[in-house]
A and B are shown apart, each in its own frame.
Chain A
Amino acid sequence: MKKFTILMSVAVLALSSGAASAAEKIKIATEGAYAPFNFVADDGSLQGFDVDIAKALCEKMKADCEIVKQEWDGMIPGLLAKKFDAIAASMSITAERKQKIDFSEKYYNTPAVIVARKDAKIAVDANGNPTDEGLKGMKIGVQRSTIHENYARAHFKDSEIVVYDSADNANLDLVNGRIDARMDDILALQEGILKAEGGDDFKVYGKGFVGGELGEGVGIGVRKEDTKLRDEFSKAIQEIRADGTYKKINDKYFNFDAYGD
């Protein structure tokens, strides 16, 4: 009786998966909590720079794509478990992640910065970036499993690193005064804190950090064995850079070229 039930349920799952794969769709996951790169609009749809880029790439690849929502924590496990086929969620290309998955070439690269209250007394270096000493004893909020968490843990050893499930929740806690500073991508912090309600009291400290733990820019994540898909994405990125599609999307969100050099 029991064995039969298990067999039945496995069979049902197997059937449903067969139907899903027949359509040959590329499922692309994004988070929806990282404005302006990806967020949930008031009609409940997924939007943002990542989403627009992903759609443009699919158009170039003449592929039938579906954007799905996935919590950040489950991105890489979900990709490996074939819940979806690609990640377009502002995921930076790092050596650590490359042990598990593969990436297309980068589609944007912007610096990481510290945001804190304007009146916070933080010592800065020549670039205006906060020094390790300047952040001593402070609570710095980062999103779990991000380059920013890794960077903060490696460099700001005298600070308390507080990890959040999503960037949105960390932003809210900074505005509420539960943490002293946030480390994240400059554009995400501008959108999530400075432009949002209560953001007037905050500012970006310095020009920002690049390289090292922060990786080589943001790419589309794919499974290691899907080399063909990876190359198609890379080629499509080149194409939208060349034909002006990228610039159009870029200008919709930013007033400078997010691609970097």
Chain B
Amino acid sequence: MSFDFPLIWNSLPDLLGRGLVLTIQLTVLSVLVGLCLAVPLGILRASRNPWISKPIYIYTYVFRGTPLLIQLFLIYYGFGQFRWIKSTFLWDFLREGFWCCLIAFTLNTAAYTTEILRGAIQNVPHGEVEAARAIGMSRFTVLRRIILPQAFRIMLPAYSNEVVLMLQATSIASLVTLLELTGVARVIIARTFAPYELFITIALIYLALTYGIIWLFKKWEQHLMRHLGERPADAPQEGALATR
């Protein structure tokens, strides 16, 4: 088995210039929009009123209970079944594979993030909330100044995992013709019949991105925990793999 290094070198401009850029775009956009959706949903999901929390639970259950690939295909191929959709403005978005991926990824990550945030909100120490109420803070102020900042700190390790999983999930965009990292690699492989070289190269790129993200979140976590002084952060153990 010989390894074709010049081929890898020659493929790098395409892989990094086109593929990597699109991979990062998809990851960053879906994670950011997903988070914006998850904050209000997570707060409502933590509500004690079942009429508020149950409908959101149904949303998160459906999106967490089915494969992302099926969700993507449902959006990408599925909506084409209805002629009336094609005559509306919706089709301007659904026509583009990029938007289909973005919609599917965002809805999916928002579902997971909502549940992560709910867990974190419910784990905010009661005493802190009661103390804030006692000094006369309104419910909204308590939410904004006490619960959300605390919940965010608690959820950070789990959330960094969600971001990593989202990065890797973007690889399935290649299955609906998008030329992100995996897509570009497959185009080059079709031309060169060199699966080892290309797949190992992009595996290394994903590996670097993953640990880059993990490192960034670690730094951020340390920053948020700095006021706790010498007390060790209650982060999960090194290298722990959380599952979704």
Q: Within the complex, are A and B direct neighbours (CB within 8 Å)? A: yes
Q: Is the CB of B193 within 8 A of A163?
A: no
Q: Is the CB of B177 within 8 A of A162?
A: yes
Overall SS of chain B's interface: helix
Min C-beta distance of A159 to chain B, whole Å? 15
Q: Is the CB of B80 within 8 A of A164?
A: no
Alpha-carbon gap, A165 to B189, bound state (A): 13
Q: Is the CB of B97 within 8 A of A178?
A: yes
Cβ-closest chain A residue relative to B100: A178
Min C-beta distance of B77 to chain A, whole Å? 6
Q: Does B28 contact A (CB under 8 A)?
A: no
Min C-beta distance of A260 to chain B, whole Å? 26
- Tell me the B134-159 residues at the A interface (CB within 8 Å): none
Q: Is the CB of B187 within 8 A of A144?
A: yes
Min C-beta distance of B103 to chain A, whole Å? 15
Alpha-carbon gap, A144 to B185, bound state (A): 12
Which of these, A77, A144, A176, contacts B86 with CB under 8 Å? A176
Min C-beta distance of A121 to chain B, whole Å? 19
Which size bracket describes the interface of A in this complex? 10 to 19
Q: Is the CB of A163 within 8 A of B80?
A: no
- Tell me the B83-97 residues at the A interface (CB within 8 Å): 86, 91, 95, 97
Cβ-closest chain A residue relative to B97: A178
Q: Does B186 contact A (CB under 8 A)?
A: yes
Interface size on B, residues (CB 8 A): 14
Q: Does B21 contact A (CB under 8 A)?
A: no
Known: A73-B190, A149-B190. A165 touches B175 (CB 8 A): yes
Q: Does B195 contact A (CB under 8 A)?
A: yes
Alpha-carbon gap, A250 to B191, bound state (A): 32
Q: Is the CB of B186 within 8 A of A176?
A: no
**A165: B residues at CB distance < 8 A:** 175
Alpha-carbon gap, A177 to B80, bound state (A): 9
Alpha-carbon gap, A180 to B37, bound state (A): 35
Q: Is the CB of A177 within 8 A of B95?
A: yes
- Tell me the B185-209 residues at the A interface (CB within 8 Å): 186-187, 190-191, 193, 195
Q: Is the CB of A144 within 8 A of B186?
A: yes
Sample of 15 more A-B contacts, CB < 8 Å, known A163-B177, A169-B77, A178-B80: A73-B190, A76-B193, A77-B193, A100-B193, A144-B187, A144-B190, A145-B190, A145-B191, A149-B190, A162-B177, A165-B175, A172-B77, A177-B80, A177-B91, A178-B95
**Which residues of B come within 8 Å of A, CB atoms?**
77, 80, 86, 91, 95, 97, 175, 177, 186-187, 190-191, 193, 195
